[in-house]
Structure 1
Amino acid sequence: MKILFVEPAIFLNAFALALTSPLTTQYVYRRIWEETSNYSFSFDSNISECEKNKSSPFFAFQEEVQRKASLFSLQMDLSGLIPGLVSTFILLSNSDHYGRKLPMILSSVGGLATSIWLCLLCYFAFPFQLLIASTFIGAFCGNFTTFFGASLAYIVDQCKEHKQKTIRIAIVDFILGVVTGLTGLSSGYFIRELGFVWSFFIIAMAVAVNLIYISFFLSDPMKESSSQNVTMSCGESFKNLFYRTYMLFKNASGTRRSVLCLLLFTVITYYFMVIGTAPIFILYELNSPLCWNEVFVGYGSALGSATFLTSFLGIWFFSYCMEDIHMAFIGIVTTMAGMTITAFARTTLMMFLARVPFLFVILPLSVLRSMLSKVVRSTEQGTLFACIAFLETLGGVAAVSIFNGIYSATVAWYPGFIFLLSAGLLLIPAISLCVIKCTSWNEGSYGLLIQEEPSEDASDG
């Protein structure tokens, strides 16, 4: 018997991703530290090996390790840019006709190969530069953006009402928050108690179980309803892929096309700022004057992941008293406040308190995706989420690369500058939302507008 719930797959995928990211960052940081100084970290130490005295030669060495770790992170992200863009766009666009499971399966295969490679790399102490190969493999098969986009499209396929879409997408973010929060909280203990090899092995097992669930237990109604499609050659299929994306905008009226473009611009610019600073938090916490150890980094990651839960609760509460666009604006403004406070955090208490304004950081992403799904037809959902995932992959890699580059250039001067910059740039999506509200957005009006517009098939005739 097939199952219609994709949430267990999202759960396992989120666990693997949430554990891989801090483990990889700290593994690279320790390898660079050891290879630069021939000095090993002590796993049973309760304090971070970090110098706070700026006049000490050890402080200068510490800043050099920060710079190298940031630059290597940039190289890893750039290595997965092109294959990630191509695989995400192709897999998600074709899911409208060939089902949502294929992107999930291929993404899980890539994740399994990546985690196995990381396990072997740590066990045999291969040069850590070979991590770039794992990034390429994962991106070539479809990364987390591919998996997440296919999962959202799978859920939207089952939703008939606009409010139901917002709530269901928020529930997905809630699941992500619970999983990543608990995983982030325990990541430091994974490193301390199990070490990197066994931790990456556990990730591989989780991805393998997920792959089995998707392949053999998850139903795919979209594929079943599209089983009558005529088989096309590879060239025709590729041509049809771009044609569907073109028609997504061409078939829309001028008003709907403007809203679609503005919403896409808003969600990508906001995503750019949030994703760009995400990996910087760990380096910022490891650096002076905070000097956090792996357990405190885990606590910080857990608090950061709790924003998925608070964002879900915010959507659930605010949806009864305000429109989607107002909820998105609240999320953007509070995120700006959080970035500003983080830039001036100099103590552990202040760094923890800086997480409070981030309560609704995920809220704009959930709401804006829901708003986008409301202005396209049901047969265009896969193409829409392919566009979103394509732009998020491009924007995410560009953001992490740019922000890592800026951080490595400014860490010796002022480590918090990157967060002040992000707070200022968040004015861009905020202004874009104001433009949408003032010129064209009217909650609930686009379902009728879509029905009145000619369909793709009619336009072909």
Structure 2
Amino acid sequence: MAEPVPAPGEEGAAECAGRGWWGGGLRWSAEPVLLLCTLALGLEEPLCTQYLWHRLGEGGGAQNGTPPAAEAGAGCTNQSQGSGGAQEQELEALVARWNLYLNLSGFLVGLFAVTLLGPWSDSVGRRSALTLPALGMTLEAGIFLVVMYGQWPVGYLLVGRIVAGLSGDYNLVLAASFAYAADITTAPTRTFRVAVLEACLGLAGMAASLAGGPWLRAQGYVAPFWMVFGTSLAATAYAAFILHESVAQPQPAKLLTTRHYRAVARLYVGPARKKLVLFTLAFFFVVTVHFGTRGLLVLFELGSPLCWGPEMVGLGSAASYLTFLSSLAALRLLQKWMPEAWVAELGLLSNVSGLVVLSMAMTTTLMFTGYGLLFLSMTVTPILRAKLSRLVDETEQGALFSAVACVEGLCSLGATGVFTALYPATLPFMKGFPFLFGAILLLLPAAIIGWIQIQDSKPEYRHFTDVAEPSPGPTDSGSTVAENGSETSSTR
């Protein structure tokens, strides 16, 4: 099958993206940066939660980075498989609050950095927008190592989060990576390329989860955090010295100006504002539930009645990340048979059913059954990202994905605030209630996506969501987004 011809204005970006540094056919794309940064984050998040669990639970134990419970092999502080005493509940609430502090500190700083650096990359290029956050994550890991080596108070971890936030943090890595994908693809091929990027998240996260638990048990917290430092540094080096620029004609641009913030705001007052707002709202609910439930899984597994140790926590995290790969395969297959909107609806159904089972999981078998039911859950976000990307001009992809990154930051903040507050409040009567609450919330994006798809399929309702779709390339007329809002078979 012949390669799709780029739309007008895309030829330069597609050509330079495929050339590589040495003029050959190698494609030095953004996937390695995303893989390395996700690997670092996948190692860091559960390790940080478990470090807080043991450090706060043992009154500053964890000497030399070794978890006090490493020899016992259980997550429960009372070593009782199912008593779940008041002391354990108090510790769970304390760790949840510290997770809130860490997320909040990074979000408040990163919110301004992402909306500044994302639109800036539309002019200067994506390499800078990928190098800066990777460097910030490297410095954050270095600060975490200093805290662990020196047994400093856990409050110093906030310094690392603020440093990462100033550079845009992981959200800017996501924004720049997806904008990079939009630069080098045409509208019809964008959904699958975005899904490939999301699969990279799952692949790196699964590798981190499988390695993190056994490594923690064998060598404590310090050695895995050196891996976090090393992978972040490698991502920085790749973005700075190897990654080829995807913006066709980078131009110098002033960084500290309100023009970048106005570029983001203009997206939501343009002709595509109705669909942008609705799809962004759906994206908000989906990602909020993902962040909120994923952030509680380690705590849920460490406590009774599961009482998982580091290895089981790693296996559980790997199972959750495996949904990225299964969703990629399912998306590729289902796109041949139905519009993307209905694929997203199937993904939401998978997510709801999995969360309902997780909310009632009292055994390891039931816990992994819930993970299995989530096998389509990650088809939703790449579809929403691609639909949002098609609604704006090719020169506004950085601004769009920085806005999406801000929404993800708000999701992280909202999820941390709501779910971490809900978790200790509902422990006395239903430990898994936050998962059930997340399943209920997912009914809202299901309604939004279904409503848009139904209205777009009826010509008499087109005025509710009518927007200008991206113009096809010279030879793409058979593979563009259909006028009624659903894709033709050739786009999939």
Common fold, TM-score beyond 0.5? yes
The alignment yields a C-alpha RMSD, in angstroms, of 2.4
How many residues are aligned here?
Answer: 440
Closer/same/farther in 2, CA of residues 448 and 422 from structure 1, 3 Å limit: closer
| 8 Å CA contact retained: 2:115, 2:261 | no
Residue 392 of structure 2: aligned partner: 376
Question: Comparing 99-108 with 3-12, which one deviates more in the overlay?
Answer: 3-12
1:247-304 deviations in whole A, cap 9, x for unaligned?
323341xxx3311211111111111111111110110011111111111000100000
- 2:243 is the alignment partner of 1:246: no
Match of 2:461? Answer: none
**8 A contact 1:335–1:358 mirrored in 2:** yes
Which residue of the partner structure matches residue 63 of structure 1? Answer: 89
- SS of equivalent to 2:155: helix
Q: Contact 1:145–1:392 (CA<8 Å) still a contact in 2?
A: yes
1:142 counterpart residue number: 168
Matching of residues 78-89 of structure 1 within 5 Å: 78-89=104-115
Q: CA deviation at 1:38?
A: 10
- CA distance change for structure 1 residues 446 and 156 in 2, over 3 Å: closer, same or farther? farther
1:284 correspondence with 2:329: no
For residue 128 of structure 2, what is the amino acid of its counterpart? L
Q: C-alpha distance in 2, partners of 1:12/1:5?
A: 13
2:422 is aligned, of 406, 411, 429, to: 406
Q: Distance between the aligned counterparts of 2:262 and 2:456, measured in 1?
A: 27
Give SS of 2:71's match. Answer: coil
Question: Corresponding residue for 1:19?
Answer: 43
Alignment-mate amino acid for residue 222 of structure 2: V
1:319 is displaced (CA, Å) by 1.1
Gaps of 5+ in 2: 1-19, 22-26, 459-464, 473-492
**SS of corresponding position for 2:391:** coil
Equivalent-residue separation in structure 1 for 2:176 and 2:335 (angstroms): 25
C-alpha deviation, 1:446, in angstroms: 8.4
Determine the structure 2 residue equivalent to 1:173: 198
Name the structure 2 match of 1:210.
Answer: 235
Ranges in structure 1 where 5+ consecutive residues have no aligned partner: 453-461
Distance (whole Å) between structure 2 residues aligned to residue 448 and residue 64 of structure 1: 54
Any conservation in 1 of the 2:390–2:470 contact (CA below 8 Å)?
A: no
Greater helix fraction, Structure 1 or Structure 2: 1
Structure 2 residue 37 is matched with structure 1 residue 10: no
CA contact (8 A) 1:52 1:288 kept: no
TM-score by length of 2: 0.84
Cα deviation, 1:64-116, whole Å, max 9, x if unaligned, reads: 11111111111111222211110111111211112111221110111001101
Out of 378, 387, 393, the position equivalent to 2:409 is 393
Change in Cα spacing, 1:247 to 1:106, as seen in structure 2 (3 Å) is: same
- 1:45 is aligned, of 42, 63, 72, to 72
Matches within 5 A, 1:156-235: 156-162=182-188, 164-222=189-247, 225-227=249-251, 232=254, 234=256
Separation in structure 1 between the aligned mates of residue 345 and residue 113 of structure 2, nearest angstrom: 32
* Secondary structure of 2:375 counterpart: helix
TM-score, structure 1 length as denominator?
0.90
Alpha-carbon distance in structure 2 between the residues aligned to 1:337 and 1:265: 22
Q: Is residue 2:116 matched to residue 1:90? A: yes
Q: Which residue of 2 aligns with 1:456?
A: none
Counterpart of 1:348 (choices 340, 364, 375) is 364
**Structure 1: distance between partners of 2:235 and 2:182:** 21
Distance 1:218 1:376, change over 3 A: same
Cα distance in structure 2, aligned partners of 1:319 and 1:172? 17
Contact 1:340/1:423 (8 A) holds in 2: yes
Per the alignment, residue 128 of structure 2 pairs with 102
Question: Aligned-pair distance for 1:226?
Answer: 3.0
Any idea what SS the aligned residue of 2:85 has? helix
User: Contact conserved, 1:375 with 1:446, CA < 8 A, in 2?
Assistant: no
Distance 1:93 1:21, change over 3 A: same
Q: Secondary structure at the match of 1:423?
A: helix
**Are the structure 2 counterparts of residues 262 and 233 from structure 1 closer, same or farther at C-alpha, using a change threshold of 3 Å?**
closer
Partner of 1:259: 275
* Residues 1:321 and 2:347 aligned together: no
Quote the offset at 1:190 in angstroms.
1.4
1:169-196, Cα deviation, whole Å (9 max, x unpaired): 1111222212211211121111012211
One-letter identity of the residue aligned with 1:126? W
Residues 246/46 of structure 1: CA separation in 2 closer, same or farther (3 Å cut): closer
1:457 counterpart residue number: none
Give the 3-state SS of the residue equivalent to 1:221 in structure 2: coil
Aligned to 1:113: 139
What is the percentage of aligned positions where both structures have the same residue?
26
Q: Identify which range, 30-39 or 390-399, moves more after superposition.
A: 30-39
Structure 2 CA distance for aligned equivalents of residues 8 and 388 of structure 1:
21
| Corresponding position of 1:35 | 59
Question: Cα distance, 1:46 vs. partner?
Answer: 3.5
Q: Is the 8 A contact 2:125 2:246 kept in 1?
A: yes
SS at match of 2:429: coil
Q: CA contact under 8 A between 2:116 and 2:255: conserved in structure 1?
A: no
Distance 1:52 1:422, change over 3 A: farther
Q: Check 1:391–1:55 CA distance in 2 against 1; reply closer, same or farther (3 A cut).
A: closer
In structure 2, C-alpha distance between the alignment counterparts of 1:438 and 1:317, rounded to whole Å: 22
- Residue identity in the other structure for 1:43: A
Deviation string, structure 1 residues 293-351 (Cα, Å, up to 9, x no partner)? 11100010000000010110111111111111111111111111111111111011111
- Larger deviation, residues 310-319 vs 243-252: 243-252
Aligned-pair distance for 1:4? 3.2
